[in-house]
Amino acid sequence: MSEVAVGTGPDTAVDFDGFVAARGAALWRTAWLLTGDRHRAEDLVQTALGKAWPHWDRVSRSGSFEAYVRKTMFTTYVAWYRRRWNGEVSTEHLPEQPGGDAADRIAFQRDVAGALARLPRGQRAVVVLRYFEDLTEAQTAEVLGCSVGTVKSQTSRALAALRSSPALARPDKDQR
């Protein structure tokens, strides 16, 4: 009698691949907002999907597999930076930027990413969850495994830091 391991049936791989194809870009965007680096974002998504894969059958039946992957991604992100990191530091420079409005948009995106990168990791995670993932304070607290009060205080500190960030200062703001 041969047994088929859980999560390895013929439809399982197809369904999981379909999920990754459909939601991979959104997961990567969130990971990029957290890490500020496209390569680390790819690593984070890949790690989260690798951790979530063995639970596909059980969690996908409840219809909450994306939430499960996102929670795995956020807890993995926090765990990565709780350890002291002595690895590579990306020094890649941005390619030449096109002129016009696209250049302004790209510069603004770079400035936002730079300002987020200057936040402590907990504050960055709270900002990404609250304002980019549009989660409530309670949902954010659940994902991060902390209290709602911690989410509120981290959000307050993060927004204060972003308001005073030189990366987001607009020189034309006072000229209007």
Task: Let me know if residue 120 belongs to a domain.
Answer: yes
- The CATH number that applies at residue 135 is 1.10.10.10
Boundary residue ending a domain (86, 110, 125)? 86
Q: Higher-confidence residue: 143 or 13?
A: 143
pLDDT of residue 3: 34
Task: Let me know if residue 148 belongs to a domain.
Answer: yes
Is 80 exceeded by the pLDDT of residue 10? no
3-class SS string, the chain: CCCCCCCCCHHHHHHHHHHHHHHHHHHHHHHHHHHCCHHHHHHHHHHHHHHHHHHHHHHHHCCCHHHHHHHHHHHHHHHHHHCCCCCCCCCCCCCCCCCCHHHHHHHHHHHHHHHHHHCCHHHHHHHHHHHHCCCCHHHHHHHHCCCHHHHHHHHHHHHHHHHCCHHHCCCCHHHC
Please state the domain count of the chain. 2
pLDDT of residue 16: 83
Domain span at 130: 98-167
Distances from the Cα of 52 to the Cα of 49, 61, 66, 80, 121, angstroms = 5, 14, 10, 17, 23
- The reply to whether 62 and 110 lie within a common domain is no
Query: What integer is the mean pLDDT of 25-49?
Result: 91
pLDDT of residue 90: 62
- The reply to whether 34 and 59 lie within a common domain is yes
Q: Give the pLDDT confidence of 40-98 residue by residue, as tens digits.
A: 999 999 999 999 888 888 887 887 888 889 999 998 988 887 655 555 556 666 555 55
Mean pLDDT of the chain: 80
On whether the CB atoms of residues 42 and 125 are closer than 8 A, the answer is: no
- The CATH number that applies at residue 70 is 1.10.1740
* Exposure string over 38-62, b if 16+ CB within 10 A, otherwise e: eebbeebbebbbeebeeebbebbee
* Measured distance CA(98)–CA(48) in Å, rounded: 34
* Measured distance CA(134)–CA(159) in Å, rounded: 15
Q: Higher-confidence residue: 19 or 84?
A: 19
